[in-house]
Chains A and B, each alone.
Chain A
Amino acid sequence: MASMTELVHDPVFSKPKALLSGVRGVQIVDFDRIDECCGFGGTFSVTEEAVAAKMGYDKLAFMQKASPDCIVSSDMSCLMHLQGCALRQKQDSISPYRRDLERSITMSPVNQARNAEAFLEDTVHEERLDKLLWLLRMRRDAAARQVPEWEELRTLASDIKEHTLTNLSDYLIEFEAQATANGVTVHWARDAHEHNQIVCDLLAERQISTLVKSKSMLTEECELRPFLETRNIRVTETDLGERIQQLDDQPPSHIVGPSIHKTTKDVANLFAKKYGSDPNNEDAAYLAGVMRENTRPEILNARAGMTGANFLIADTGGVIVATNEGNAELSAHTPSLHIVSAGIEKLVPNMESLAVFIRLLARSATGEAITQYTSTFRGPREGAAMHVILVDNGRSSRLGMERFWHSLKCIRCAACMNTCPVYRRSGGLSYGSTYMGPIGIIMMPTFDVRKYSELPFASILNGSCTNVCPVKIDIHEQIYGWREVMEEKGQIQTVKKQAMKIADKVLSNPTLYQIATTSMSTALDVLPHFAIYNRLNAWGKHRDVPEAASETFHEWYNNHRLKANEVLGL
């Protein structure tokens, strides 16, 4: 029996469970990941059929481990979905994911569903990623339960961000004044190009051709690295995961752990190719040592270092950077030039507010109480320079979007990604975007509606992302909102549009619904196999069509209850 577990300290009561527990001879057995969605999700089960089916098979596996005689649900669609998976499972002893698929073409909308299906074919990576991220979710839940005021902190964090964003112009001006007084040079960039050009100019003025940098999603968003590399500036990422992705010429697949989708074997092979290390040594400590040895000379010789910013403090001009590796501190302090890239939404009013966010950030991300290094940079040391670039790149426009401005509250903890059943089974690269998972779905369309028009459909809308968000962004509501925008802007694929149109027509008309259910039952009995299982039936790719009941609920009701009512004179 499923129940929500993300919300801390909320008592969970299940009426069906309480009722069934009262039946003599019935023993209710629990199973792993009790709050995982089965993957049905209405039209999701056909528009994102590969991920939907994988979720169904995973749910079934967790249930089967508990050896139940019977699976009970109050949701008929869950049962239908699980039955479809169970029937196919009986026939296939091999993985149902065996098909060659093409990657999506860049200029057309990113086809997340197709990319996810390709990711699912490789069971090693998919299963590992799912388990690892689920573990992070569990750690997050455990850490949250350790803090009695957890839900109060979430509300405070949300309110502080909303206050700051609705007074953002004042806070930006205050930050600029304070930072300037601290000896920091503040730059402003309207878009990615302006940001990149400022960095380039700062380096060119000093004839600097090597740059070390720590992880910053904003610099990924601005595509800074390729911009600098084409201008003969060598950029070395100092975050371990980000460097792995740089060496493999891939973007980050997760905003906290950029290379989280890779196995130790993948990294061993990559380092062997790039650094000449032992390809057969998959020990993580050995591999981290290889990276340390190769990156440290770059850090010591670099003349400029870059970091992002987790938060900007308006009343002190402080820049807060949180890392586990110490690489941001090394990148900022070892060279004599420190450049900070920060989105304008990173402001918080003061250090008192910051405490609320720091208590939430690492716990939401990894389940640790805090990151190893939580730095406050307020100004340059003697003989050095510090520059902060405040970047808009669409943020001020998003602030004016009534339904979507709340996404600017994001503190980039990735909790929504770790808990998302679709992300865990798709991998971050399937989104084809800088930000991925639930937060990516609601941010990316603000950059390019057409390119990211398919992303809002890569969600089962189970609301788990919203429940774990430390700043209470209504993520699943916004995902739904973006679907409506895509519909309004005519950006929905014909297949999806048809599926939704049919569902809308049938489900909103009782007569049509009854005709559909009755005729479907008859059709399934008489149609040959090829007529049911073909490329037009997305459901049938990875699942069986469940056996239809001998009578529909309405038929049963008419036959039994109405007669009973007659007898009782009702």
Chain B
Amino acid sequence: MSNDQVRNTILDSVRKNQPTSRSMPQIPYFGIDDTKDLVELFTQGVMRMAGAVIQDAIPDLDDFVHHRFPDAKVICSAVPECKGAIRPKELTHWPEASKTDVSIVRSPLGVAETGSVLLSDVELQINTIAFLSHDLVVLLDPDQIVQNIHNAYQHPYFKARPYSLLMTGPSGSGDIGGITVHPAQGVKTLTIVLAGVPH
């Protein structure tokens, strides 16, 4: 049976069996208390998931990365503020990102409720740098922190880009004895640097 025939069989069966249509509810606006400091909430969220937030101004990002990761040899920078050793586009095959020790990328959006940052193929260029690098440094303009997941999913990337990710802390797992460990398969550390976009 062809894919189209199978498709039509399934759709016929769904049409025959689906109960009487129920209406779609209106999703109200869920905001958080205006008095709450979004940067503070965001920071708490990141730390709860074993990530780190740097709030102090960093004059030289290359220096910062070298000091924070003294053993790192291959630094892959996807941002103009940091030279690094290589740019993502120099990785011709996506698995090659495993050779990078640290990747640096800018996020266009943070989420206070969860401590998440948005990353997409626009910023990452080679998506695997967010997973195969040992350590990940994400720059985020504190003015781009939104209240919650409802706000976050209004970002146009989710409707337009091939890949978008809400990332919250480094890779982790509780699969061995229920004990949370970092990392599992992804990055070992996640450092978020709060820094506006340079003019």
Question: Which of A's residues lie within 8 Å of B, judged by CB?
Answer: 132, 135, 149, 152, 155-156, 159-160, 162-163, 165-169, 172-173, 176, 182-183, 187-190, 194, 238-241, 244, 257-260, 262-264, 267, 282, 284-285, 287-288, 291-292, 295-296, 299-301, 316, 318, 324-327, 329-330, 333-334, 336, 344, 349, 351-356, 358-359, 366, 368-381, 390, 392, 396-397, 399-400, 402, 405
Q: Which residue, B48, B166, B185, B186, has most C-beta atoms of chain A within 10 A?
A: B185
Contact, CB under 8 Å: B153 / A326: no
Q: Give Cα A377 to B185, complex, Å.
A: 19
B164 / chain A contacts, CB cutoff of 8 Å: 375-376, 378
B132 / chain A contacts, CB cutoff of 8 Å: 330, 334
Our pick among A238, A354, A374 for the contact of B185 (Cβ within 8 Å) is A238
Our pick among B49, B161, B177, B184 for the contact of A292 (Cβ within 8 Å) is B184
Name the distance in Å between A420's Cβ and chain B's nearest Cβ: 17
With A240-B173, A399-B18: A369-B113 Cβ-Cβ less than 8 Å = yes
Docked complex: B3-59 residues within 8 A CB-CB of A = 3, 6-7, 9-11, 13-25, 27-28, 30, 45, 48-49
Name the distance in Å between B145's Cβ and chain A's nearest Cβ: 15
Contact, CB under 8 Å: B149 / A381: no
Is the C-beta of B168 less than 8 angstroms from some C-beta in chain A?
A: yes
Q: Given A163-B23, A285-B181, A330-B185, 15 more contacts at CB 8 Å?
A: A183-B162, A188-B3, A189-B6, A190-B10, A260-B178, A292-B184, A344-B14, A351-B158, A369-B115, A369-B168, A370-B149, A372-B168, A373-B165, A381-B162, A405-B17
Our pick among B7, B167, B177 for the contact of A264 (Cβ within 8 Å) is B177
Our pick among B10, B162, B181, B187 for the contact of A344 (Cβ within 8 Å) is B10
With A370-B166, A380-B162: A324-B176 Cβ-Cβ less than 8 Å = no
* A-B CB contact pairs (8 Å), 5 listed: A257-B174, A284-B176, A288-B181, A324-B174, A326-B131
A284 / chain B contacts, CB cutoff of 8 Å: 176-177, 179, 181
Is the C-beta of B175 less than 8 angstroms from some C-beta in chain A?
A: yes
Name the distance in Å between A466's Cβ and chain B's nearest Cβ: 19
Is the C-beta of B68 less than 8 angstroms from some C-beta in chain A?
A: no
Q: Give Cα A293 to B184, complex, Å.
A: 10
> Nearest residue in B to A291 (C-beta to C-beta)?
B184
Is the C-beta of B64 less than 8 angstroms from some C-beta in chain A?
A: no
With A166-B21, A318-B158, A325-B184: A257-B130 Cβ-Cβ less than 8 Å = no
With A352-B27, A372-B172: A326-B163 Cβ-Cβ less than 8 Å = no
Contact, CB under 8 Å: A396 / B162: no
> Nearest residue in A to B7 (C-beta to C-beta)?
A188
Q: Give Cα A376 to B116, complex, Å.
A: 14
Name the distance in Å between B102's Cβ and chain A's nearest Cβ: 16
B30 / chain A contacts, CB cutoff of 8 Å: 149
Is the C-beta of B95 less than 8 angstroms from some C-beta in chain A?
A: yes
Name the distance in Å between B92's Cβ and chain A's nearest Cβ: 11
Is the C-beta of B144 less than 8 angstroms from some C-beta in chain A?
A: no
Contact, CB under 8 Å: A333 / B178: no
Q: Give Cα A369 to B131, complex, Å.
A: 21
Our pick among B48, B94, B154, B158 for the contact of A334 (Cβ within 8 Å) is B94
Q: Give Cα A392 to B15, complex, Å.
A: 13
Contact, CB under 8 Å: B176 / A351: no
Name the distance in Å between A534's Cβ and chain B's nearest Cβ: 40
Is the C-beta of B67 less than 8 angstroms from some C-beta in chain A?
A: no
B127 / chain A contacts, CB cutoff of 8 Å: 329, 333, 381
Chain B interface bracket (under 10, 10 to 19, 20 to 34, 35 or more): 35 or more
A163 / chain B contacts, CB cutoff of 8 Å: 21-25
The 10 closest A-B pairs by CB, nearest first: A326-B186, A400-B17, A241-B175, A325-B184, A264-B177, A396-B13, A284-B179, A379-B162, A240-B175, A188-B7
Is the C-beta of B152 less than 8 angstroms from some C-beta in chain A?
A: yes
> Nearest residue in A to B26 (C-beta to C-beta)?
A156
Contact, CB under 8 Å: B152 / A329: no
Contact, CB under 8 Å: B163 / A378: yes
B149 / chain A contacts, CB cutoff of 8 Å: 355, 358-359, 370
B19 / chain A contacts, CB cutoff of 8 Å: 165-166, 399, 402, 405
Contact, CB under 8 Å: A396 / B22: no
> Nearest residue in A to B111 (C-beta to C-beta)?
A370
Question: Which of B's residues lie within 8 Å of A, judged by CB?
Answer: 3, 6-7, 9-11, 13-25, 27-28, 30, 45, 48-49, 94-95, 98, 113-116, 121, 127-128, 130-132, 148-150, 152-154, 158-159, 161-179, 181-187
Q: Give Cα A381 to B130, complex, Å.
A: 15
B171 / chain A contacts, CB cutoff of 8 Å: 324-326, 372-373
Our pick among B9, B20, B95 for the contact of A166 (Cβ within 8 Å) is B20
Q: Give Cα A149 to B32, complex, Å.
A: 10
Name the distance in Å between A136's Cβ and chain B's nearest Cβ: 8
Our pick among A168, A262, A296, A299 for the contact of B14 (Cβ within 8 Å) is A168
> Nearest residue in A to B164 (C-beta to C-beta)?
A376
B11 / chain A contacts, CB cutoff of 8 Å: 169, 172-173
Contact, CB under 8 Å: B16 / A400: yes
Contact, CB under 8 Å: B185 / A325: yes
Name the distance in Å between A252's Cβ and chain B's nearest Cβ: 11
Name the distance in Å between B183's Cβ and chain A's nearest Cβ: 7
Our pick among A316, A354, A371 for the contact of B168 (Cβ within 8 Å) is A371
Contact, CB under 8 Å: A263 / B177: yes
A376 / chain B contacts, CB cutoff of 8 Å: 158, 163-165
B130 / chain A contacts, CB cutoff of 8 Å: 329
Name the distance in Å between A524's Cβ and chain B's nearest Cβ: 44
B185 / chain A contacts, CB cutoff of 8 Å: 238, 240, 292, 295-296, 299, 325-327, 330
Contact, CB under 8 Å: B162 / A377: yes
Name the distance in Å between B46's Cβ and chain A's nearest Cβ: 11
Name the distance in Å between B172's Cβ and chain A's nearest Cβ: 5
A356 / chain B contacts, CB cutoff of 8 Å: 27
Name the distance in Å between B98's Cβ and chain A's nearest Cβ: 6
Name the distance in Å between A350's Cβ and chain B's nearest Cβ: 9
With A238-B185, A267-B176, A316-B159: A370-B114 Cβ-Cβ less than 8 Å = yes
Q: Give Cα A316 to B159, complex, Å.
A: 6
Q: Give Cα A288 to B95, complex, Å.
A: 21
B49 / chain A contacts, CB cutoff of 8 Å: 368, 372
Q: Give Cα A162 to B19, complex, Å.
A: 9
Q: Give Cα A285 to B176, complex, Å.
A: 9
A292 / chain B contacts, CB cutoff of 8 Å: 183-185
Contact, CB under 8 Å: A355 / B152: yes
A405 / chain B contacts, CB cutoff of 8 Å: 17, 19
Name the distance in Å between A37's Cβ and chain B's nearest Cβ: 23
A241 / chain B contacts, CB cutoff of 8 Å: 173, 175
A301 / chain B contacts, CB cutoff of 8 Å: 95
B175 / chain A contacts, CB cutoff of 8 Å: 239-241, 244, 257-260
Q: Give Cα A462 to B169, complex, Å.
A: 37
Contact, CB under 8 Å: A396 / B25: no
Name the distance in Å between A349's Cβ and chain B's nearest Cβ: 7
B166 / chain A contacts, CB cutoff of 8 Å: 370, 373-374
